[in-house]
Structure 1
Amino acid sequence: MKFTLQREEKYNIIKVDEEKLDSTISPDLKSEFLTMQGQGIGNLIVDLSEVKYIDSSGLGALLVGNRVFTEGGGSFVMSGVSDHAKKLISISQLDKVLTVLPTVEESIDLVFMNELEQGLKEEGDAE
């Protein structure tokens, strides 16, 4: 699987550099998500702007990433999702589970908002 990883202090961005996210790539993507989470990465933005086609195994990999990062208290945001993939996500009603935003910049903003909310919640619990 071809991808690029951009590491920042509060988040990481993985850009999938493939046209298809299918059964040939999905196991590698799942493995990458688990590795990143195991390394202590809390917030992940998945840039799918190069991906034109996603099948059910690709959605499964994205669901694994979503579960791993959100259960750990972090954010998992997808951006640059093609129209085909948006339809698939909507038809399977995963739009209620997955966070999909149009651009990486909006995804970064959401991660920072979630970090602020988390900090305020922890502050409130401490009092």
Structure 2
Amino acid sequence: MEVKTDTKEKFHVIRVETLNFTAIMAAELNRQLLELLKDNTKNVVVNLQGIANMEEEAAESLVRLQQKFYEEGASFVICNLQKNVESFLDEKELLEIMNVTPTESEAYDIVQMEEIERELLNGDDFDQ
């Protein structure tokens, strides 16, 4: 499995470049992405444009990974799903619990909005 990483100011863009995304590949991706939670820039956009098929266990691993990122106060957005992968995730009732956008640009927007939201929630308490 080939993974390309592009680091921006507020997030990392991870491009997974393999046709078939298996549970073994998901475990490796999981290990790599959990390392990013130790970084100052821990938000992640995962571009799955190159994936044509996904095993159910791999999809479930992505859901757990997304939950871990949000528990750690970081964003995790998946983008550019091919139609058949999107349909598969929907059929397995995973799509509705995943943070998915049609394009990388929209994923960037979500990360930025979530960053602002976290800053507001973690800011000084306002006098009431």
TM over 0.5: yes
Q: Deviations for 1:8-56, whole angstroms, at most 9, x for unmatched residues?
A: 1211110001111113412211111222223344211000011111111
CA 1:119–1:20 in 2, change beyond 3 Å: closer, same or farther? same
Distance 2:72 2:102 in 1: 24
Is 1:32 aligned to residue 32 of structure 2?
yes
What number of residue pairs does the alignment pair up? 126
Partner residue, 2:79? 79
Gaps of 5+ in 1: none
Distance 1:40 1:112 in 2: 15
Give the TM-score taking structure 2 as reference length. Answer: 0.89
Q: Deviations for 1:59-89, whole angstroms, at most 9, x for unmatched residues?
A: 0221232022111111110001111211121
Partner residue, 2:4? 4
Gaps of 5+ in 2: none
Distance 2:95 2:23 in 1: 21
Single out whichever of 20-29 and 76-85 deviates more from structure 2. Answer: 20-29
Instruction: Please state whether the residue corresponding to 1:15 is helix, strand or coil.
Output: strand
Amino acid at match of 2:33: F
CA 1:18–1:120 in 2, change beyond 3 Å: closer, same or farther? same
Is 1:56 aligned to residue 74 of structure 2?
no
Is 1:89 aligned to residue 57 of structure 2?
no
Root-mean-square deviation over aligned CA pairs = 1.5
Percent pairwise identity: 23
- Contact kept, 8 Å, 1:20 with 1:53, in 2: the verdict is yes
Shift of 1:96: 2.6
Partner residue, 2:125? 126
Partner residue, 1:102? 102
Single out whichever of 17-26 and 31-40 deviates more from structure 2. Answer: 31-40
Give the TM-score taking structure 1 as reference length. Answer: 0.89
